[in-house]
Chains A and B, each alone.
Chain A
Amino acid sequence: MKISRAEVEHVSRLARLTLTDRELDAMQDEMDKFLGYVEQLNQLDTEGIVPTAHVVPMENAFRKDEVQPGFTREQALANAPEPDPAGFRVPRVIE
């Protein structure tokens, strides 16, 4: 296996995903196959090749710092899972 069960669990914690034991097993198997497949990239010598992050040559995109119309508080909160006119309600963070 190119990836251990412990690594899969570690990655699921990094990704903030709760996975069941069965999902972790399946994920390990599929990730192992995928990592085996992408190993072919090592056949290519990429020494000195500049990586492409983006195809459009871009400078910083500046704009004037002007106030534009935005959402009202009501609009911004309209999709909140727990309605509260003051903000986004979440479980207690500080005990």
Chain B
Amino acid sequence: MKLYDLTLTELRARLDNREVSSVDVTRAFLDRIAATDDKINAFITVCEAEALAAAKAADRRIAANEAGALTGIPIAVKDIFNTSGILTTCGSKILNNYIAPYDATVIARLKQQDAVILGKLNMDEFAMGSSNECTAFEPVHNPWNTDRVPGGSSGGSAASVAASQAIATLGTDTGGSVRQPAAHCGVVGLKPTYGRVSRYGVIAYASSLDQVGPLARNIGDCALLLQTVAGFDPADSTSVDIPVPDYSATLSEDITGLRIGLPKEYFIEGLDDDVRRAVDQAIATYRNLGAELVEVSLPHTDYAVAGYYLIATAEASSNLARYDGVRFGLRSAESDSLIDMYTRSRAEGFGIEVKRRIMLGTYALSSGYYDAYYLKAQKVRTLVRQDFTRVFEDVDVLLTPVAPTPAFPLGEKVDDPLQMYLSDIFTIPVNLAGTCAISLPCGFSDGGLPIGLQLIGKPFDEATILKTGYAFEQATEWHKKKAAL
């Protein structure tokens, strides 16, 4: 077996037993990236020198028997994380020359363990998109079928795991941006509870919804990466100061008697037949594993997409005001006054989807419309949250599809924003409610495209969705399938 095909757990054992060095492993991954990324385009920046230096440091630490869970493990990260001394573009032309002067907290935590950061991954510009086509750095291609999208906005994060270019990756999830690409690329992706992982140094899209999440080939690897990045950070006042449990310790707990809710609003007309079949099979698997499956209702589901796009665009319009050409990023060469410099720099630097969302958000917050749009959406958010609070009094976990269809063809929805927004219909409510959810592989379409299963948990109960996913993984082989490249 090739080094780049190992799981994190397998690689950990080989590193700790001195069967292989981190430098060898890192070289294997760098070679793999060089050999495959012309087809996938997952990387915006490959950090070869930095990665090899980190690998050497990791090997010294392993030799001293001081290795942590991620010491020497090749990881890649979405280009939304500030990484000191390294180009950090957020998928945008407006940041195409921005060298981050500091590390995001999650990056610092990886470095504390001497994890090897291979590079920065492609994404929809400012995390706005569901297909990774809205990038200033050419679209990412799905490793299972390169004519298809990988999903978005963390498309590079999902595709690189599926293409064995990294053991695991970090993405961000504002409305499904970890889970939907994970589903489309046949990998595991977890969106933690809002407040579980620090957002310090993560370039902001919609601050009340953004959350950092791990992607990996299996649940166990995903748990290890979450363990490393989770926890309170004084630099992020919205991170929550509660203990982080040992996720690996409870993975193999029995799920007999676990109550799994099936929200009827997620099993709708228009759900793709292959998706429905795969999710129905997953339900049968859980029944065989001794879980209790019960139908439940989240009555405000239909309103979540509309509420989300008002809140997210409003927050984005405010967050993106900082890109003005003054302190960093692109400055228009054409300007003759300060205001002119702002407006031209933004016009030249932002792509069309970012402009669209800034315009929508600015409108929703503008004088005379605030109550009708933004405030209304925040009230609807309360109703969506209450749906989850109520249903979690009765069940432990919710089971749903991740996306209504498998990965769609490149170009299909890029000119139809509303259709693109609707591809997040099953992931968005979780962000509005602020709770946690995981996407894991549960089958393939007739055309050979991966299908994802979503397990939604109670706030700060990542441990339960991880163990519920782990039980499924032990009973199935889906997570072992690999894209042929």
Contacts and interface: CB of A to CB of B under 8 A. Distances in A.
B343 A44 contact: no
A48 B469 CA distance: 39
Contacts of B417: 30, 33-34
B377 interface: yes
A50 B346 CA distance: 35
Contact of A53 (B324, B330, B378): B378
Interface string A63-95: 100000001000110111110000010111100
B240 interface: yes
Nearest to A28: B359
A76 B99 CA distance: 11
Contacts of B362: 11, 14-15
Contacts of A58: 237-238
Contacts of B342: 16
B137 interface: no
Instruction: Determine the interface band of chain A, counting residues with CB < 8 A from chain B.
Output: 35 or more
B39 interface: no
Interface of B is mostly: helix
Given A38-B306, A38-B309, A16 B385 contact: no
Interface string B341-367: 111101100101001101110110010
A33 B375 CA distance: 20
A79 B359 contact: no
Given A19-B347, A31-B359, A41-B307, A51 B379 contact: yes
Interface residues on B, range: 35 or more
Interface of A, secondary structure class, is: loop
A13 B377 CA distance: 24
B213 interface: no
A84 to B, nearest CB: 12
B343 A17 contact: yes
A56 B242 CA distance: 12
B328 A46 contact: no
Given A15-B317, A80-B327, A91 B359 contact: no
B23 to A, nearest CB: 30
Given A11-B363, A15-B362, A41-B307, A54 B208 contact: yes
Interface in B279-310: 300, 302-303, 306-307, 309-310
A40 B331 contact: no
B324 A16 contact: yes
B380 A41 contact: yes
Contact of B375 (A7, A51, A92): A51
Nearest to B234: A63
Interface of A: 3, 7-8, 11-12, 14-19, 23, 27, 30-31, 33-34, 37-38, 40-44, 46, 49-56, 58, 61, 63, 71, 75-76, 78-82, 88, 90-93
The 5 closest A-B pairs by CB, nearest first: A55-B434, A51-B378, A79-B328, A61-B237, A81-B331
29 contacts: A3-B363, A7-B363, A12-B359, A16-B321, A16-B342, A16-B343, A16-B346, A17-B355, A18-B346, A23-B352, A30-B417, A38-B306, A38-B377, A41-B306, A41-B380, A46-B379, A54-B208, A71-B101, A71-B102, A79-B329, A81-B330, A81-B331, A82-B331, A90-B338, A91-B336, A91-B337, A91-B341, A92-B337, A93-B338
